[in-house]
Structure 1
Amino acid sequence: MSNFSFLKDKKQYRIFANACFEAEKGLVVSPAVSAIQSRRALELAVKWVYSYDGALEVPYQDNLSSLIHDREFLGIIDEELLPMMKYVVKLGNQAVHTNAPITRDEAVLSLHHLFQFIAWIDYCYSDEFTAGEFDESLLPVGEEKKVRPKELQDLYEQLSAKDRKLEEIIKENQHLRKKVTEKREQNTKENNFQVDQLNEFETRLKYIDLDLKLAGWEFNKDIIREYPVVGMPNKEGKGFADYVLFGDNGKPLAVVEAKRTAKDPKIGRQQAKLYADCIEKMSGIRPVIFYTNGFETYIWHDPYPPRKVSGFYNKEELSLLIERRQMKRPLTNIQINDDISNRYYQKEAILSVCDALSRNQRKALLVMATGSGKTRTAISIVDVLTRHNWVKNVLFLADRTALINQAYRNFNNLLPSIPLCNLLDNKDNPEESRIVFSTYPTMMNAIDEAKRKNGKKLFTVGHFDLIIIDESHRSIYKKYRSIFDYFDGILLGLTATPKDEIDKNTYEVFEMENGVPTYAYELDQAVKDGFLVDYRTIETKTKFLEEGIHYDDLSEEDKEKYEELFDEEDFREDIDSSALNEWLFNDNTIDMVLKDLMEKGIHVEGGDKLGKTIIFAKNHRHAERM
């Protein structure tokens, strides 16, 4: 018998059914194996929903985390299922990417949450809803042995090795998607799906326990639950803090207040402050404050107001936050290294960022013309902030390998005393580096996969004190914005062309008024100052783009290709020029434009290299910067 036995006779679910059975059986081997297999089963089940439900489209990325957080997906599932799915994902990630032990209770909770989502699928998409209630007595019993990390990593890779592209599967099922959507709408019309809730208190603590373990904390070593405090404003003058986190010296570093999952965690703010006041009087150290309901977590430490974070800081990061109370020097009387940046506007930009940080702002945006020295300005900012003990670890992000390599060389030349790491180069060690350079996709992978020598997660929430986003008009709005949601560092954006569109707004990312960055030095001023020269344009046209395509004007060879391209139903003798960019693409167009560029473009370094050039394509969707 299995909790998932109801799937056996429903062939439409065979894609994920076996994975559910295997997740249960995995308990016989170890809780960690079961956790990995539960995550895998959830991934297959979520992809099944995307494959067959016509109301859903694949988001920018098709990894599991992106799929379950997609707005359209959240619009069709029961709201109580999201935290359950997040738990399954996190526990599976812990099993694969950390050495932290996983208990049977945690693996069982993951199976329970997996079951809830599978039952929801049965409720929505089956002709008859037959999923019962989750029965823990049906689960097999095995040893809670610890499997070697390499074995768990191998298991994870084997499970996903044969995955097909989700978009391919969707295309195959296109004829079924509308019908499946109608089935869900019909099944959910009269009644709501009832999620089987477990004991709220125990479940909430497991959620918080998992987040703490993912940050590298160890129970029975540096965490105390129900920590007794004295000095509370009640009759007994006593209280019990839900969690207190301790440093290696035995001194408290943080207090965690846990509220009910159904409650807004912000209602725990005052209670957490009272515990922090008591702990400060008892120990002489003001702990950093966290308050959470297991789903949302907030951090509160001076001089900043409380803010939402994606998880907990680790021990080293919390220790550094407390040490900075004495170490940080005011950002006044700043000495800027002229060898790094000596132009007046670069210094103004540096001072503007320092002024914003001094006013407890955690985001800054520099709008500076291409060629005006944005990278040098950023290097000077890092130099100033490290000398004043405001930052230790820095992340430099850009969307292209060339930009990363160029920035790495510049930082290495101008700040030679700070160890650097280019994540695109496997030779570098990020754990021993102070400044890490990465493209967005590489960092997305590294968040889960990069480990310390002791096997713990390297890139935890508070690892980076400063995140520099180069050319921040690209890739930051949807596809990779989760990186900024994950890390809790100060954000510094560098761009020459900010956007202020509704769905692509650079200023909104940095919490600023449209058109009002921290500092701006644009092309017109740079030309007036003599630091840059104005650009000149060369316009290139092609016959197809200007006149369209006319069948009768084509050569016999091109007519043959034209007829192969269009069947009788789609055939048309004339295609207007305005339609070309919409649905027809000419393979030779790019080759012709590039040939023209190489012949007429400005060459530098003795004529061997093309100078900086911007190409504006007629179709704005294809405009690219070279």
Structure 2
Amino acid sequence: MTNFDFLQKEPKFHSFADVAVAAEKILPIDVAASVLNCRRAMEFAIKWMYSVDTSLVRPWDDKLISLMSTDEFRDAVDDDLLTRMHFIRKIGNIAAHDSRKISKDQAMLCLENLYIFMDFLAYCYADSYTEGSFDPHLVETQPVSALTIPTPSEAELKLDALMKENAALREQLTNRREQQQETYVPKPLDISEYKTRKLYIDAMLVDAGWTENQDWINEYEIMGMPNKSECGRADYVLFGDDGRILAVIEAKRTCVDVAKGRQQGKLYADLIEKQQGRRPVLFLTNGFDTRIIDNQYPERKVASFYSKRDLEKLFNLNGMRTHLDHVTVDANIAGRYYQKAAIQAVCDSFDAKNRRKALLVMATGSGKTRTVITLCKVLLEHGWAKNILFLADRNSLVTQAKRSFVNLLPDLSVTNLCEEKDNLQAHCVFSTYQTMMNCIDSAQDEQGKLFTCGHFDLLICDEAHRSIYNKYRDIFTYFDTLLIGLTATPKDDIDKNTYEIFDLENGIPTYGYDLAQAVKDKFLVDFLSVETSLKFLQDGIVYDDLSDEDKEAYENTFTDENGKLPKSINAAALNQWIFNEDTIRKVLDIL
């Protein structure tokens, strides 16, 4: 008997049930193998969800991080459950790189989190559901010969094949999930502070490259506290290579608001600052919610902890940083008055206004790329940035931007992740959103994970539309960095609001330079409009007016399952859902 027997009773769950059972059976023998099978079972189950649920829109690839990052998947799975699932993903990544870093307790928590996810799946999609709870006593040792562990090749799932296999179930199971999800009661998250620290928080530290008892110490004694013993114990203290304290972590149990540790953490930071002459960064966390107080910007939520090199870079930059109130702009790169004004506006936003996001709305052709290149030069020279990430949604835009940076800032080391998979050490990284999503977990060097959440100091988002932000928003929430958006066409609709992304009021960017002003200044020329009409687009398609050949095509296309044929298709329907190649050709000919 196992905790996952309920999965094997449902034939539709066959693609992942055996892997989940194998993860449980092998845990007493090999914790790393158990974790890897937990991750595989979760990945296969998620792919199965995409194959049966029409509300889930398939992303650009089938990698786990991509599947878990779509808006539609996040709508289907609540935040607490998603955090549990990301724990399985992260521990699985650690197990894949170094199995020695996985504890039995972490493997057991992966198994319990997997059970909770599978319970949610059964509640939403199974023909019958019986409420249960995870029983750790069922996880017992069995002879290796008695275990049937599917190998990766045997259990590998292709989403295309699943989509075909489950096509008949899609409408039925989508409706069932949408109804059931409304009444699902999430499993309780309350575990002790000790377990929170040893399982969730320790895993976050290992994922960020920290090593226990080498550069991180638990229960670190700090003298001078306002109590009888004058001694306090910080939950975690993170050390740099020079032996000085880089950060303090104040931990709370999973169900407790992290804000309750704020005052205690600030006391520790105050005392450490007195002792070593430098104030450490403070992290507040309960394993699910993590905040940073970096002594410059307001307290904010972060995806995880900074790595050691992230923190050391932060302190090095702080030591070199100078104010941005009156910057010198390189006129050879961006010499127009509005480009200089845009650069100063962003500098004022980052410095004097203490904001971490800026939006430049500039007409196409007015030199957005030159403006942002000059801005990067200013931020590099004034100690505000060392590592820069430039993101665009198409390879051609990435290549074009990189070429401009190379030509105008020849001393800056650059790399295009879409073309140079092994050149990861450059200070300016160019990438599509898709490529960067895939690199976050996979990019490694001799020190471990490279693209940790504090790796970049500046993120430039080219063509910052709401649709881009929605589709790839995990990138923006993962990297804790200054953010600059570039666009010529901002949106201020309720569901597509570019300004909201950058914490700005509707219609008020950090700096704007529109087409009308550019034409008035004679930097751009205005557009010309050509008006024309085409018969189909104006009058629609009438069956009786067609040639015999076109009538045959019309019949083959529009005859319904009952053999009925519409006499005509009006222009509105034609514009909405019919793609007519001949009409497209005529429009292009006129253009």
Same fold by TM (over 0.5)?
yes
Distance in 1 (alpha carbons) for counterparts of 2:79 and 2:431: 35
Cα distance in 2 between the residues matched to 1:161 and 1:423: 27
Question: Per-residue CA shift, 1:290-341, capped at 9, x if unaligned?
Answer: 0011101111012211111111111111012122332111214422212211
Displacement of 1:3 in angstroms is 2.8
Structure 1 residue 80, shift from structure 2 partner: 5.2
> What amino acid is the match of 1:15?
S
8 A Cα contact 2:70 2:472, kept in partner: no
Task: Report deviation, 1:95.
Answer: 3.0
| Structure 2 residue 559 is matched with structure 1 residue 567 | yes
- Counterpart for residue 524 of structure 1: 516
Residue of structure 1 equivalent to 2:269: 276
- Of 280, 286, 308, the residue aligned with 1:287 is 280
Partner of 1:618: none
Please give the alpha-carbon distance, in whole angstroms, between the structure 2 residues aligned to 1:507 and 1:79. 25
Q: Deviations over 1:497-544 (max 9, x none)?
A: 111111111111110011111111111111111111111123354322
How far 1:577 sits from its partner (Å)?
0.4
User: What's the counterpart of residue 256 of structure 1?
Assistant: 249
Shift of 1:241: 0.5
Deviations 1:439-475 (A, max 9, x none): 1111111112211244x11111011100111111264
CA contact (8 A) 1:399 1:474 kept: no
Contact 1:398–1:440 under 8 Å retained in 2: yes
- Equivalent position of 1:414 in the other structure: 408
Query: Is residue 214 from structure 1 mapped to residue 207 from structure 2 by the alignment?
Result: yes
Q: State the shift of 1:135 in Å.
A: 2.6
TM-score (structure 1 length as normaliser): 0.85
Q: 2:304 aligns with which of 301, 311, 316?
A: 311
The residue aligned with 2:101 is 101
Post-superposition shift, 1:13? Answer: 2.4
Q: Find the residue that maps to 1:477 and give its secondary structure.
A: helix
Counterpart check, 1:497 vs 2:489: yes
Kept after mapping to 2: 8 A contact 1:399/1:475: no
Q: TM-score, normalised by structure 2?
A: 0.90
Q: Distance in 1 between matches of 2:316 and 2:203?
A: 27
- In the TM superposition, 1:362-511 aligns within 5 A as 362-426=356-420, 429-431=423-425, 433-454=426-447, 456-473=448-465, 475-511=467-503
Instruction: Summarize the Cα distance change of 1:537–1:348 in structure 2 as closer, same or farther, 3 Å threshold.
Output: same
Deviation, structure 1 residue 411 = 0.4
- The alpha carbon displacement at 1:116 in A equals 2.4
| Partner residue in 1 for 2:320 | 327
**2-structure distance, mates of 1:76, 1:441:** 22
**Matches of 2:69 and 2:408 in 1, distance apart?**
41
Shift of 1:184: 4.2
In the other structure, the counterpart of 1:555 is 547
Per-residue deviation, residues 567-626 of structure 1 (Å, max 9, x unmatched): 3435201000011132322133334434444xxxxxxxxxxxxxxxxxxxxxxxxxxxxx
SS at match of 2:444: coil
Equivalent pair of 2:391/2:432 in contact (CA under 8 Å): yes
Alpha-carbon offset, residue 205 of structure 1: 3.3
Distance in 2, Cα, partners of 1:246 & 1:301: 16
- State yes or no: 1:171 paired with 2:167: yes
Judge which range, 397-406 or 579-588, deviates more.
Answer: 579-588
Offset of 1:183 from its aligned partner? Answer: 8.6
Per-residue CA distance 1:169-206 (angstroms, 9 max, x = gap): 66321353267449948xx97x9575596556314531
State whether structure 2 residue 107 is matched by structure 1 residue 115.
no
Structure 1 stretch displaced more, 208-217 or 4-13 = 4-13
- How far is the alpha carbon of 1:438 from its aligned partner? 0.9
1:225 deviates by 0.7
Identify the range of structure 1 (216-225 vs 325-334) with the bigger mean alpha-carbon deviation.
325-334
Count of residues paired in the alignment: 581
**Gaps (5+ residues) in structure 1?**
144-154, 598-626
CA-based RMSD? 3.0
Equivalent position SS for 1:468 = strand
Distance 1:442 1:542, change over 3 A: farther
Name the SS for the 1:34 alignment partner: helix
Question: What is the SS of the residue equivalent to 1:173?
Answer: helix
Aligned to 1:243, the other structure's residue is in SS state: strand
1:342 shift after superposition: 1.0
Amino acid in the other structure paired with 2:472:
Y
Structure 2: distance between partners of 1:8 and 1:586: 49
Distance in 2 between residues matched to 1:260 and 1:130, nearest whole Å:
26
Q: State the Cα distance separating 1:72 from its structure 2 match.
A: 7.1
1:478 partner SS: helix
Contact 1:2 1:139 survives alignment (8 Å): no
Q: Give yes or no for the alignment of 1:201 onto 2:202.
A: no
Once residues 465 and 213 of structure 1 are traced to their aligned partners in structure 2, the CA distance between those partners, rounded to angstroms, is 22
Q: Distance in 1 between matches of 2:96 and 2:53?
A: 30
- Select 1:242's aligned residue among 221, 232, 235: 235
The corresponding residue for 2:581 is: 587
Look up the match of 1:624: none
Q: Is the 8 A contact 2:466 2:497 kept in 1?
A: no
**Cα deviations by residue, 1:196-243 (Å, 9 ceiling, x for unpaired):** 965563145311111111111111211101111111122221111110
In structure 2, list runs of 5 or more residues that go unmatched: 145-150
Aligned twin of 1:11: 11
SS, match of residue 476 in structure 1: helix
Partner of 2:449, secondary structure, is: coil
Q: State the match for 1:90 in structure 2.
A: 90
- Give the direction of change, closer, same or farther, for the CA distance of 1:353–1:567 in structure 2 (3 Å limit): same
Q: Please say which of residues 131-140 and 322-331 is displaced more in the overlay.
A: 131-140
CA distance in 1, matches of 2:17, 2:234: 43
Tell me the residue number matched to 2:148: none
Q: CA deviation at 1:129?
A: 1.9
Q: Distance in 2 between matches of 1:85 and 1:139?
A: 23
- Indicate if the aligned counterparts of 1:98 and 1:214 stay in contact, CA closer than 8 A: no
Query: 150, 157, 162: which one pairs with 2:158?
Result: 162
Cα distance 1:579–1:128, how it changes in 2: closer, same or farther (>3 A)?
closer
Tell whether 2:31 aligns with 1:37.
no
CA distance in 2 between counterparts of 1:157 and 1:476 reads: 35
**Could you tell me whether the CA contact under 8 Å between 1:399 and 1:439 is conserved in 2?**
yes
Range moving further from structure 2, 360-369 or 582-591 = 582-591
The yes-or-no answer on 1:127 pairing with 2:119 is: no
Name the CA shift for 1:562/1:115 in 2 (closer, same or farther; >3 Å): same
Cα distance in structure 2, aligned partners of 1:184 and 1:277: 50
Determine whether 1:301 maps to 2:290.
no
* Kept in 2: contact 1:100–1:213 (CA 8 A): no
Tell me if structure 2 keeps the 8 A contact 1:4–1:20.
yes
Alignment-mate amino acid for residue 135 of structure 1:
P
